[in-house]
């Protein structure tokens, strides 16, 4: 991870992003923050839709926002939920495609987090 950004700072950015979530159906608010290798933090939050397939998770919002800004190299991602829920399978696949070597910090709303890696979350992943 970039030495100028601590895991706690990345988790704090995800906590802040969580406040922007649009979750009227599940009431499960999620924030994420992806750290680029050059030290930039890009936030994301979940955005639900009445057509559930139109819902996008916070992790994918952060990563796709980063891609849209021309970022391609990521060192870490933090995900914050009320209870420290782990990324879904869809998000794990996107993370393996865009940043297989990323560290992952999974946190509850109080900031208690655990560290893992994308590869640990999705062992034996398939690729293109």
pLDDT for position 3: 55
pLDDT at 93: 96
What is the mean pLDDT for each group of 10 consecutive residues in the chain (128 residues)?
A: 82 98 98 97 98 96 98 98 97 97 97 98 87
pTM greater than 0.75 (yes/no)? yes
Q: Which pairing describes strands 103-107 and 74-80: parallel, antiparallel, or unpaired?
A: parallel
- Write out the catalytic residue numbers: 59
What is the DSSP code string of 69-89? TT---EEEEEEE-SB-PPPPH
What is the structure's pLDDT at 2? 43
Q: Residue 1: its pLDDT value, please? A: 47
> Parallel, antiparallel, or unpaired: how do β-strands 31-36 and 41-45 relate?
antiparallel
For residue 127, what pLDDT is reported?
A: 78
């Amino acid at each position: 991870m970039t030495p100028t950004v601590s895991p706690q700072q990345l988790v704090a950015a995800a906590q802040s992003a969580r406040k922007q979530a649009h979750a009227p159906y599940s009431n499960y608010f999620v924030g994420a923050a992806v750290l680029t290798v050059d030290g930039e933090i890009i936030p994301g939050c979940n955005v639900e839709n009445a057509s559930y397939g139109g819902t996008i998770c916070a992790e994918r919002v952060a990563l796709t926002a980063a891609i849209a800004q021309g970022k391609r190299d990521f060192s870490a991602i933090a995900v914050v939920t009320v209870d420290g829920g782990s990324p879904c399978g869809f998000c794990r696949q996107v993370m393996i495609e865009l940043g297989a070597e990323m560290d992952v910090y999974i946190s509850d709303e109080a900031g208690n987090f655990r560290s893992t890696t994308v590869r640990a979350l999705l062992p034996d992943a398939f690729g293109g």
